[in-house]
């Protein structure tokens, strides 16, 4: 399906979106433009779908507030939309608007404004959201279904239950430590976010409505699952993987800080690694835990790369024949559209660059035969995928520089020895 926003926003040609040059600002520009699309969408989100009176009232009030924010504080609006739980809901509402998603978006947005003291007036929400998933506050609130309404004011929210009102002070809840969980008069408050490094967290909460929809034929959704391993093991391994990226691909690591906000655990497996990302959930990586640090590092680069190109897909189709016909994929058992082949090559090229640099600098992890075999396999995947793309793809004007970048690296790795 053609992107309705294709070519609507001007961006600098993405000539190094796959493997950034030193000091590159290409990824930053793409992300900024993708957020700009959301800023323009937000005042009309949910418009036109059939809804109850309560939801229509909430939505009209919300849209008025968003238009006021866009006019008075466009930078603030963009910063809120950068948070993946909010942006994920906005993008998901493009496909199938529902009362539940609209209510969750309205409630989360009001909560985030209240959390930072940015509400110009008290806001009443009539259709109560089931959950408020605040990555900014590292807090999740689960609200009873019997609640009649929620009121948001700077620094506090009021949940009206049949038994009476519960007032929650936001600052008090956001300051409790990670792992906190308590029933506060019927409202469940949790702190399910655990620091990995900087602003990147291991998230044991997820509001992506598409998380259980999985395109890979050998995988069945992305339910949160620590796989029986302690949180400290997860955060430690992921931190070590990020450190390897910093050592050998520092510009990629810098871009990660722009994009990646949360990594969601989806189990443990000693044999295979499973990971995923979604265009609707830019900023989120789903990852299983694997005993190999090399495998974990590869997976982070791979899924981050998907996040990066997904931001470009927010702006342009990139390929005129992205979804038809189907072609043999170098990494999947099922035939894939060129869109999928492009995703694979774009993600595996920086992995090849990581392996190459680790070998050049003699890193201990690069000395095994398994590592060298994996490097050879990654180069083979890239070569096969690039041949399919360069032979069949019809890039858009935005896609042409990206395809030329892939051509350059395809030529480069064609000269690298076995």
pLDDT in tens, the chain (418 residues): 445 544 445 688 899 999 999 999 999 999 999 999 999 999 888 877 889 999 999 999 999 999 999 888 888 888 999 999 999 999 999 988 899 999 999 999 999 999 999 999 999 999 999 999 999 999 999 999 999 999 999 999 999 999 999 999 999 999 999 999 999 999 999 999 999 999 999 999 999 999 877 555 555 679 999 999 999 999 999 999 999 999 999 999 999 999 999 999 999 999 899 999 999 999 999 999 999 999 999 999 999 999 999 999 999 999 999 999 998 777 777 788 999 999 999 999 999 999 999 999 999 999 999 999 999 999 999 999 999 999 999 999 999 999 999 999 999 999 876 5
Q: Is residue 8 part of a domain?
A: no
Q: What integer pLDDT is reported at residue 380 of this predicted model?
A: 95
Q: What is the dihedral of CA 304, 309, 312, 317, to 10 degrees?
A: -150
pLDDT at 415: 84
Where does a domain end: 147, 167, 191? 191
- Indicate whether 137 and 216 sit together in one domain: no
Is position 21 within any domain?
Answer: no
The domain tally of the chain equals 2
Domain stop point among 163, 191, 219: 191
291 shares its domain with 314: yes
Residue 405 belongs to some domain of the structure: yes
Residues 159 and 297 in one domain: no
184 in a structural domain? yes
Q: Are residues 402 and 274 in the same domain?
A: yes
Co-location of 110 and 157 in the same domain: yes
Kindly state whether residues 356 and 208 are assigned to the same domain.
yes
Residues 120 and 165 in one domain: yes
Residue 67's φ and ψ, nearest 5 degrees, are: -65, -40
pLDDT value for 7? 41
Let me know whether 151 and 225 are in one domain: no
Predicted structure pTM score = 0.94
Whole-angstrom Cα distance, residue 125 to residue 364?
57
Please indicate, yes or no, whether residues 174 and 263 belong to a single structural domain of this protein: no
Domain finish residue from 171, 191, 211: 191
In this structure, are 257 and 389 located in the same domain?
yes
Q: Could you tell me if residue 345 is inside a domain?
A: yes
Owning domain of residue 147: 26-191
* 320 shares a domain with 179: no
pLDDT of residue 357: 98
Same domain, 42 and 175: yes
Is position 266 within any domain?
Answer: yes
* 18 inside domain: no
Q: Residue 179 falls within a domain, yes or no?
A: yes
């Amino acid at each position: 399906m053609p992107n309705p926003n294709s070519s609507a926003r001007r961006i600098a040609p993405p000539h190094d979106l796959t493997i950034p040059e030193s000091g590159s600002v290409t990824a930053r520009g793409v992300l900024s433009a993708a957020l700009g699309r959301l800023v323009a969408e937000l005042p009309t989100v949910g418009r036109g779908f059939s809804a109850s009176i309560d939801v229509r009232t909430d939505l009209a009030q919300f849209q008025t507030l968003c238009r006021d924010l866009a006019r008075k504080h466009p930078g603030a609006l963009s910063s809120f939309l950068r948070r993946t739980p909010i942006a994920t809901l906005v993008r998901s509402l493009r496909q199938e608007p529902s009362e539940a998603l609209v209510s969750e978006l309205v409630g989360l947005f009001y909560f985030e404004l209240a959390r930072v003291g940015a509400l110009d007036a008290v806001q009443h929400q009539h259709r109560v959201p089931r959950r408020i998933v605040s990555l900014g506050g590292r807090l999740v609130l689960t609200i009873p279904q019997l609640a009649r309404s929620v009121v948001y004011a700077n620094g506090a929210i009021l949940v009206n239950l049949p038994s009476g009102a519960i007032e929650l002070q936001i600052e008090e809840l956001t300051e409790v430590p990670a792992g906190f969980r308590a029933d506060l008069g019927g409202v469940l408050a949790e702190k399910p976010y655990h620091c990995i490094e900087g602003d990147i967290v291991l998230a044991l909460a997820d509001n992506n409505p598409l998380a259980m929809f999985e395109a890979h034929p050998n995988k069945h959704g992305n339910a949160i699952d620590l796989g029986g391993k302690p949180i400290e093991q997860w955060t430690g391994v992921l931190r070590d993987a990020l450190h390897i990226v910093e050592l050998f691909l520092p510009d990629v690591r810098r871009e990660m800080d722009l994009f990646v906000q949360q990594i969601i655990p989806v189990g443990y497996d000693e044999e295979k690694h499973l990971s995923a990302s979604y265009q609707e959930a830019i900023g989120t990586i789903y990852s299983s835990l694997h005993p190999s640090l090399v495998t974990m590092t590869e997976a982070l680069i791979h899924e981050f790369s998907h996040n990066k190109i997904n931001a470009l897909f927010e702006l342009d189709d990139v390929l005129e024949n992205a979804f038809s016909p189907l072609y043999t994929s170098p990494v999947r058992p099922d035939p894939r559209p060129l869109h999928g082949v492009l995703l694979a090559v774009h993600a595996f090229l920086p992995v090849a660059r990581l392996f190459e640099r680790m070998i050049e600098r003699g890193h201990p992890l690069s000395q095994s035969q398994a590592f060298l075999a994996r490097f050879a396999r990654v180069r083979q995947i890239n070569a096969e995928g690039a041949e399919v793309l360069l032979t069949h793809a019809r890039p858009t004007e935005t896609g042409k520089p990206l395809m030329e970048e892939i051509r350059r690296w395809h030529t480069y790795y064609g000269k690298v020895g076995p």
